[in-house]
Amino acid sequence: MTDALTYSSHQQQISDNPSIYFKKQNQHNENHENPRTLRELIEYLYEAFSTDMVDLDYLHTIMTNYKSSPKDWQQYAKFKQDRYTRNLVDGGNGKFNLMLLCWSEGQGSSIHDHTNSHCFMKCLDGKLVETRYEWPTEDDQQEDDKKEKPMKLKYQSDLNYNDVLYINDSLGLHRVENPSHTDKCVTLHLYIPPYHQCHTFDERTGKQGQVVVTFYSKYGQILEKETPAL
């Protein structure tokens, strides 16, 4: 089971950026719906964000229609042995971030939100498992309640080669992980707008914390020191 793309209104403001709004069913040049390369996908993204109205369905279409080719993205794929990495491909003039996340064998994320951003995620190589959760309620997180209240599972699904998923905070929280102990995984992420902090959640108790998200590399170059994803 997966959540379909959903919108709270016909026009929806993108987070804290007052000049960008989502809309649906905009007319686009059909020749710009099938990016043949990652560079073409980036060009189409800039075109989509060239006005103050953004069509989520169109973003989903071009993310889906782009077919993974390692020669497009290998220069951005940087792995670490101790944890997964976030590698910036394009900063989107502050309106979006496009990045590669690289998962060595068995690596995964914590349960987290997206701080009012919208996320498209495409599997370029390997396979990920997404586990989606309900938001904990205020009652679940009462500190004076010593009884543990585990996070409520919504569903679990596989993200296979060239699959695309979409999530925002209204659809819940999630954790993603590479289930393989023999193969690495690479995923392409589009975040609208970019964010540099998010909340993580304890699966056993629902208690939340806050973390700064960082880039391991930018534009194919590993950073001497990881920097906040600004």
- Please name the residue ranges forming H helices in the chain: 38-48, 56-65, 70-73
**Structure confidence at residue 148 (pLDDT):** 75
60 is in an annotated binding site: no
114 is in an annotated binding site: yes
Distance CA 215, CA 82 (A): 15
Band (144; pLDDT cuts 50, 70, 90): low
Task: Decide: 195 and 118 in contact? Cβ < 8 Å.
Answer: no
Q: What is the pLDDT of residues 2-55, one digit of tens each?
A: 443 433 333 444 444 434 455 554 556 667 899 999 999 999 999 999 988 899
Whether residue 30 lies inside any domain: the answer is: no
Residue 147 has pLDDT above 80, yes or no: no
Q: Is the bond preceding 193 in cis, omega lying within 30 degrees of 0? A: yes
Residue 215 has pLDDT above 50, yes or no: yes
Q: Which domain does 188 fall in, by range? A: 71-228
Whether residue 95 lies inside any domain: the answer is: yes
CATH of the domain at 220: 2.60.120.10
10 is in an annotated binding site: no
Among 77-81, 114-118, 224-228, the minimum mean pLDDT is found in 224-228
Distance CA 76, CA 99 (A): 8
Distance CA 93, CA 194 (A): 10
Whether residue 203 lies inside any domain: the answer is: yes
Q: Span 75-91, mean pLDDT? A: 97
User: At 33, phi and psi to the nearest 5?
Assistant: -115, -5
**Structure confidence at residue 143 (pLDDT):** 55
Whether residue 146 lies inside any domain: the answer is: yes
| pLDDT, mean over the chain | 87
**Structure confidence at residue 7 (pLDDT):** 35
Number of domains observed in the structure of the chain: 1
Among 20-24, 73-77, 83-87, 114-118, the minimum mean pLDDT is found in 20-24
Q: What is the pLDDT of residues 157-208, one digit of tens each?
A: 999 999 999 999 999 999 999 999 999 999 999 999 999 999 999 999 999 9
Whether residue 145 lies inside any domain: the answer is: yes
Above pLDDT 90, what percent of the chain?
A: 76
Whether residue 222 lies inside any domain: the answer is: yes
Whether residue 120 lies inside any domain: the answer is: yes
Whether residue 180 lies inside any domain: the answer is: yes
Q: For Cα atoms 200, 202, 203, give the angle at the middle one, nearest 5 degrees.
A: 120
